[in-house]
Amino acid sequence: MEAPDRNLGFLLHDTARMLRKGFEQNARHLGLTRAQWQVMATLARNEGLYQGALAELLELEPITLVRILDRLQANGLIERRLNPTTAACACCI
């Protein structure tokens, strides 16, 4: 059996973990979490995306995304717009 530290899957996972950790350390002074940055980056590429579609795209549970969006909106970083026809919320930066 191959040693875990020689397995490609292990190395990819460990590299991703180190990159996330480095990003969080470098971005900490801005007061945003990695999850908040991820939401904002996705919205920047997909302006006006509905919350359900955004949760699916980010592979997040809708309630988890709503909490992140609540914080971003409270800080004035995003805007939610209600679609009067569907009663769904679209998010914009």
Tell me the pLDDT tens digit for each residue of 72-90: 999 999 999 887 777 777 7
pLDDT at 15: 94
pTM of the model: 0.74
For residue 67, which of 39, 42, 87 has the smallest C-alpha distance? 39
Q: Structurally, what CATH architecture does the domain formed by 32-93 represent?
A: Orthogonal Bundle (1.10)
Q: CA-CA distance, 12 to 5, in Å (whole number)?
A: 10
The answer to whether the CB of 93 falls within 8 A of the CB of 47 is: yes
Concatenated DSSP letters of 24-77:
HHHHGGGT--HHHHHHHHHHHHSTTEEHHHHHHHHT--HHHHHHHHHHHHHTTS
How large is the average pLDDT for residues 7-19? 92
Q: Domain coordinates of the chain in residue numbers?
A: 1-31, 32-93
